[in-house]
Amino acid sequence: MRDVTLSVVHNLSWTELKPYAVSLFRSSCASDLKVIIVTPVTSAEVRENFTRLGFMLVESPMPTENPIQWDEWGWLRFHEAAKFLRSSSESFRYVMWTDARDVVFQSNPFTWLENNLSPFKMAIAGLGHAVKDCPQYNDPWVKAVAGPSYDRIREFEALACGTFGGEALLMREMFEDIYDGCRSRPTTVRLPHPQGVTDQGVFNVLAHEMYAASTKIPRPKEGFAAQWWPSKSSWPEVFKHEGLPLFDSANGIVYAPETFVPYSVVHLYDRDPLWVTIMRDKYK
């Protein structure tokens, strides 16, 4: 069975997407299926370049543009990913789900899963701090959906719904549960940041409850995925006792602490303008 990477893009330029696409092209095996789900506003340039690099383009509807609930697109994308897996005539071994605008691959993530996932079925990248220590984002997101479990879950590490992978069936079920969990809850959202029901809030509750027994949260030294940018290391709330990602700006590589292996995936690098330039120069 083949492995498949999945991402959904909407209204992004090729300049923004090129590091994701080129790094995945360089890192993947020829047998891996690279799927990019696009919306009607995806430009011809983006479509042509993804096709040139061997990606399968899957069409999805235009998301509802709701200025009060703009975060709806965050969870509608998981519906599109689940729909692709349900409708595919092919059975897959592993699925790797990531964002696209702020992600690069430094090695094949399926090699990491093959060597490190067992006995678990899904690997989810942590953000390096507790839910409760993110009062602007993760803590209110979890509070909006966790109910009586909130006080317990907020003590756990916050998890990123933009980087996780695992066995195909469980991944599809997670996609469906994120979508259903968001859709079933009425929400009001205060701009500029959503404070109601979000994909990442539901995802953290699912990962720390329903999926906990099947989920591996790799530690930094294991080199799965860095959810990081250089200045984040100075935050007082991050887990410094486990070591911090090492940023090699000369070579455009992010290394895991202790083991000094390049992370397979780097996420959130675009919070640092210098690293946007580094990644765009490296992956062109």
- Per DSSP, helices labelled H in the chain are 14-27, 44-52, 72-87, 109-116, 138-146, 150-153, 168-183, 199-208, 273-282
Whether the per-residue pLDDT at 3 is higher than 70: the answer is yes
Q: Is the pLDDT of residue 72 over 80?
A: no
Q: Is 85 exposed, middle or buried (0-12, 13-18, 19+ CB in 10 A)?
A: buried
Residues 146/137/178/23 CA torsion (nearest 10 deg): -150
Question: Mean pLDDT throughout 190-213?
Answer: 83
Spacing of C-alpha 271 from chain mean position: 15
Mean pLDDT over 7-19 rounds to 96
What is the pLDDT confidence band of residue 30, given thresholds at 50, 70 and 90? confident
Mean pLDDT of 116-132: 98
Cα dihedral 44, 47, 52, 57 sign: negative
Pick the closest to residue 131 from 114, 112, 150 (CA basis).
150
Residue 197 has pLDDT above 80, yes or no: no
Q: Report whether pLDDT(272) > 50.
A: yes
pTM of the model: 0.95
* Each residue's pLDDT tens digit, 204-236: 999 999 999 999 999 999 999 999 999 999 999
d(CA 12, CA 101): 8
> What is residue 191's predicted lDDT score, i.e. its pLDDT?
45
CA 226 to chain centre: 11
Predicted local distance difference test score (pLDDT) of residue 88: 92
State the Cα–Cα distance between residues 80 and 103, nearest whole angstrom.
20
As a whole number, the mean pLDDT across the chain is 93
Q: What is the pLDDT of residue 193?
A: 53
Q: Which of 62-76, 167-181, 235-249, 265-279 has the lowest mean pLDDT?
A: 62-76
- 75 pLDDT more than 70: yes
pLDDT for 65: 59
